[in-house]
């Protein structure tokens, strides 16, 4: 089985250069899950309607901070009656140049709707998140103590840094993280010099544990924006463009387009299973040319039955194909070879973000 080749001389391997400087306090994915579970148990243990209301408000504020990376002042100033859109699953945060619309996870939207539409939401319209900053910090530190986490890692500032790291490690481009956090590119670049393209094979953003459309075992994942949708009676052709400018195409049902709310400008994750990808040398004959990604082979792992071919495109995107081992007999591939990864539009699965 051929060994994976080292990076070419003078060329950095993107999968090895994501670093978080020691001075940036943040929680990892497991610690965030522990803190979230601790808040849920704390809120569920409340006795009496006033205590339940107070604890649920604080839990929802924590979730808002955790999943948007908002500054504490931005979160507590949020007018839920005017700046919160549960149907669109988004919230408007910030003021002036930092004012932006940020997506929310469905888990949070359901919890917000349940509180605001239920008896515990009486009298809270417009001021749901208007909590005292000192109280917020005390509760955050108490929950940190309860689940065995350092208080310094559970401050609003640390939650903001945690979301930035989480997004970057999920493959979200720096510009998108900047827009989500309302932070300048220079500020972000000073903290995050680079991010792992190996981690970029994961889903672009995992907003909540129940966002199942965003979870997939597909080896080829491309964060995109919809460029256009052409429908007939049953199927629709969706034109896509990745954040690096690569044009892709997907064919899905019209019902799926409607359910996902796809229209120009909507962000989506396009995924393709490795067995549905073919690998050819440039000029290697006709194929699914609308989805043809030029790349360089980075590894070939073969058994007697199947071969796994990994590659990297010019923009750093990682690709993978599974082909029959016999397909390589006449034209063997090795690390460094220029190839095209091709796949049909019907093989491209879309998940709304």
What is the per-residue pLDDT across 304-323, written as a single tens digit (0 to 9) for each?
888 899 998 887 788 999 88
Tell me, yes or no, whether 116 and 3 share the same domain. Answer: no
What is d(CA 60, CA 65) in angstroms, rounded to the nearest whole number?
Answer: 9
**Angle in degrees, 0-180, between the axes of helices 156-169 and 29-44, rounded to the nearest 10:** 130
pLDDT at 283: 67
pLDDT score of 206 = 36
Q: What is the pLDDT of residues 101-157, one digit of tens each?
A: 998 888 888 889 988 888 888 888 888 999 999 999 999 999 999 999 999 999 999
Which residue among 166, 195, 224 closes a domain?
195
* Average pLDDT value for the chain: 81
Bigger pLDDT: 281 vs 202: 281
Residues 62 and 154 both lie in one domain: yes
Mean pLDDT of 188-213: 39
What would the pLDDT profile of 27-86 be if each residue is shown by its tens digit?
988 899 999 999 999 999 999 999 999 999 999 999 999 999 999 999 999 999 999 998
Whether the pLDDT of residue 210 is over 80: the answer is no
Domain that holds residue 160: 18-195
- Kindly state whether residues 245 and 320 are assigned to the same domain: yes
pLDDT-derived band at 96, boundaries 50, 70, 90: confident
CA distance 179 to 117: 31
User: Do 297 and 260 lie in a common domain?
Assistant: yes
Q: Could you tell me the CATH number of the domain that includes residue 284?
A: 2.40.50.100
Answer whether residue 339 is part of any domain: yes
pTM, entire model? 0.54
Q: pLDDT over 90 for what percent of the chain?
A: 41
Q: Do 150 and 233 sit in the same domain of this protein?
A: no
Please tell me whether residues 40 and 137 are part of one structural domain.
Answer: yes
Higher pLDDT, 167 or 199: 167
Residues 6+ apart with CB under 8 A from 172: 180, 204, 205, 223
Read off φ and ψ for residue 178, nearest 5 degrees: -60, -45
Long-range contacts of residues 325-333, Cβ cutoff 8 Å, at least 24 apart: 328/300, 328/302, 331/281, 333/279, 333/297, 333/300, 333/309
pLDDT over 50 (residue 4): no
User: Does residue 234 belong to any structural domain of this protein?
Assistant: yes
CATH number at 164 reads: 1.10.443.10
Residue 30 inside a domain? The answer is: yes
């Amino acid at each position: 089985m051929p060994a994976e080749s080292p990076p070419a001389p003078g060329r950095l391997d993107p999968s090895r250069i994501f670093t978080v400087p020691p001075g940036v306090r943040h929680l990892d994915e497991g610690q965030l899950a522990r803190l979230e579970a601790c808040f849920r148990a704390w809120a569920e243990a409340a006795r009496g309607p006033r205590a339940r209301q107070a604890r649920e408000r604080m839990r929802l504020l924590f979730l808002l901070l955790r999943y948007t990376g908002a500054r504490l002042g931005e979160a507590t100033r949020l007018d839920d009656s005017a700046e919160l859109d549960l149907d669109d699953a988004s919230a408007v945060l910030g003021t002036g140049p930092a004012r932006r619309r940020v997506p929310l996870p469905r888990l949070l939207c359901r919890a917000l709707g349940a509180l605001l539409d239920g008896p515990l939401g009486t009298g809270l319209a417009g001021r749901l998140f208007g909590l005292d900053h000192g109280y917020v910090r005390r509760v955050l530190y108490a929950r940190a103590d309860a689940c065995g986490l350092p208080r310094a890692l559970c401050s609003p500032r640390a939650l903001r840094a945690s979301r930035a790291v989480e997004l970057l490690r999920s493959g979200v481009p720096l510009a998108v993280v900047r827009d989500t956090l309302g932070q300048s590119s220079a500020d972000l670049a000073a903290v995050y010099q680079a991010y792992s393209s190996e981690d970029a094979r994961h889903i672009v953003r995992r907003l909540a544990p129940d966002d199942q459309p965003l979870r997939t075992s597909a080896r080829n994942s491309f964060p995109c924006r919809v460029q256009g949708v052409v429908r007939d009676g049953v199927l629709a052709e969706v034109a896509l463009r990745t954040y690096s400018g690569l044009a892709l195409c997907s064919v899905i049902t019209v019902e799926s387009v409607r359910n996902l709310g796809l229209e120009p400008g909507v962000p989506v994750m396009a995924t393709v299973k490795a067995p549905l990808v073919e690998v050819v040398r440039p000029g290697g004959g006709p194929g699914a040319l609308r989805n043809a990604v030029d790349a360089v082979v980075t590894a070939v792992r073969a058994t007697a039955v199947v071969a796994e071919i990994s590659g990297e495109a010019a923009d750093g995107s990682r690709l993978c194909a599974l082909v029959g081992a016999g397909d390589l007999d006449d034209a063997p591939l090795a690390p460094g070879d220029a190839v095209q990864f091709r796949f049909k539009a019907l093989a491209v699965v879309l998940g709304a973000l």
